Amino acid sequence: MTFKVALIQMAVTAVKSDNLAHAVKLINKAATNGAQLIILPECFNSPYDTSCFPKYAECIPGQTTDLLAQTAKDNNVYIIGGSIPEIDNGKVYNTCPVFSPSGELLTKHRKIHLVDIDVPGKIRFREADTLSPGCDFTTFDTPYCKIGIGVCYDLRFPELAHIYGEMGCKFLVYPGAFNMTTGPSHMEPLLRARAVDNEVYVALVSGSRDETASYVAWGHSTVVSPWGDVLATTEHLETIIYCDIDPDFVDKVRTQLPILSQKRTDMYSLTNVVTRT
């Protein structure tokens, strides 16, 4: 069953209330245009800045998730709510909430791998200065297919995508914010690698570029097919891009190239998969 997704590459400001109102406006527009699953970018309600995460953090449920739940219900759509700074028991997480068409909070993914990069003369960014890492795999079921969630830097770790594939996911979604140093060189190759390695659809949804921000996003929100083809992408400005996802095509590719069943599990395999309830 083919379904239509919308990737909202939105502009983010320093005013949370403005960001929330703008997100609702764009979600409404995407739903009006026929999207059944709508995806927001990483840190869509706050600047992507380590000093901002504690200031903007809120509980789940809370202001942002209550609004997204109502918006999902109003439009009868699934919403993958990008990510927001979440506070829980004194710790702050980079968290992606997911909502059903009835407005139910289906699950949330706390970013597992925190950014810690230092490219001399270009960028230094360390999320662990204010964030704590998540420790859970996150999937949810839809009438179309099972979907796995990561957040940005999680994309760099192939084990996560492989586990999601083994858990039955046919579509992997990463709200993200690649920067001007790593984005041009790494983002698309990583998306295509995760798609081809696991024969799944993969999407990354970024915020639009703000040259005045302390952290400048690359943009270029993208969807890649299980064959490794770029199905939809954009440049750096605010926009909504749409793409049809066909879960049956995943089965077709896996039949033509049965690499998942050809793995030498007698020689190697992933172990110690931890699940928590």
Q: Determine contact, residues 219/234, Cβ cutoff 8 Å.
A: yes
Q: From the candidates 42, 86, 127, 199, which is the catalytic residue?
A: 42
CA 147 to chain centre: 11
Cα dist from 92 to 59, 137, 139, whole Å: 9, 18, 21
H or E element: which one contains 22? Answer: helix 16-32
Active site (annotated) includes residue 42 = yes
Q: Rounded to whole angstroms, how far apart are CA atoms 215 and 16?
A: 17
Q: From the candidates 145, 152, 169, 243, which is the catalytic residue?
A: 152
Peptide bond into 120 cis (omega under 30): no
Q: Rounded to whole angstroms, how far apart are CA atoms 71 and 157?
A: 32
Q: Determine contact, residues 219/207, Cβ cutoff 8 Å.
A: yes
Q: From the candidates 16, 108, 111, 170, which is the catalytic residue?
A: 111
Active site (annotated) includes residue 111 = yes
Q: Rounded to whole angstroms, how far apart are CA atoms 227 and 245?
A: 13
Q: Which long-range contacts (CB under 8 A, 24 or more apart) does 22-31 make?
A: 23/68, 24/67, 24/71, 26/240, 27/71, 27/75, 27/77, 27/79, 28/71, 28/74, 28/75, 29/240, 30/6, 30/77, 30/240, 30/242, 31/6, 31/75, 31/76, 31/77
H or E element: which one contains 63? Answer: helix 63-75
Pairing of strands 37-39, 78-80: parallel
* Catalytic residue numbers, as ranges: 42, 111, 152
